[in-house]
């Protein structure tokens, strides 16, 4: 599995958006988000746990998410994350940036001189 042709450098810069996209659909915790990313990609991409937890810290520091401990009476404790209003705005902005950049990127990697934009 995970015959990943998706290089990490292509995903780089989208990690935060990917996480926020999951959280805007409901609170979740690290391991579940980790699994859901694999599932969403159809087993084609795995965001490493270390990267994920690094991102949580970054996002929380920037005020885009908040965390709270679940009240599991048994089993491993879970740290849940919730997206903030700021986080939603940040997500929307990132998606907009992505849609915008996508087209330019397409021209840059495939276009010839006749495709010059104005």
Partner DNA sequence: CCATAGTACCTTGACAAACATAGTACTATT
Partner DNA sequence: AATAGTACTATGTTTGTCAAGGTACTATGG
Q: How far apart, in Å, do the first and last CA atoms of the chain sit?
A: 44
Residues 5-44 vs DNA: string with x where CB under 7 A? Answer: ---xx-xxxxxx------------xxxx--x---------
Alpha carbons 107 and 97: distance in angstroms, whole number: 16
Q: Which residues within the stretch 43-102 sit at the binding site for DNA (CB under 7 A)?
A: 47-51, 53-58, 74-80
Residue 65 interacting with a copy of itself (CB under 8 A): no
Strands 28-29 and 65-69, bridge-based pairing = unpaired
* Continuous segment of H or E residues that includes residue 22: helix 15-23
Which of DNA, a copy of itself, none sits in contact with 25, Cβ below 5 to 8 A by type?
a copy of itself
50 binds a copy of itself, rule: CB under 8 A: no
Query: Looking at beta carbons only, is 13 or 63 nearer to a copy of itself?
Result: 13
- Give the H or E element holding residue 82: strand 79-83
Nearer to a copy of itself, 57 or 69 (CB): 57
């Amino acid at each position: 599995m995970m015959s990943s042709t998706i290089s990490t450098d292509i995903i780089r810069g989208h990690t935060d958006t990917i996480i926020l996209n999951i959280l805007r659909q409901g609170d979740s915790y690290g391991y579940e988000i980790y699994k859901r990313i694999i599932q969403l990609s159809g087993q084609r991409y795995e965001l490493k746990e270390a990267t994920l937890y690094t991102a949580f810290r970054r996002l929380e520091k920037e005020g885009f998410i908040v965390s709270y401990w679940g009240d599991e009476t048994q089993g491993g404790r879970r740290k849940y994350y919730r997206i903030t209003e700021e986080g939603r705005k940040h997500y929307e902005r990132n998606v907009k940036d992505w849609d915008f950049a996508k087209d330019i990127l397409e021209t840059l990697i495939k276009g010839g001189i006749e495709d010059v934009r104005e």
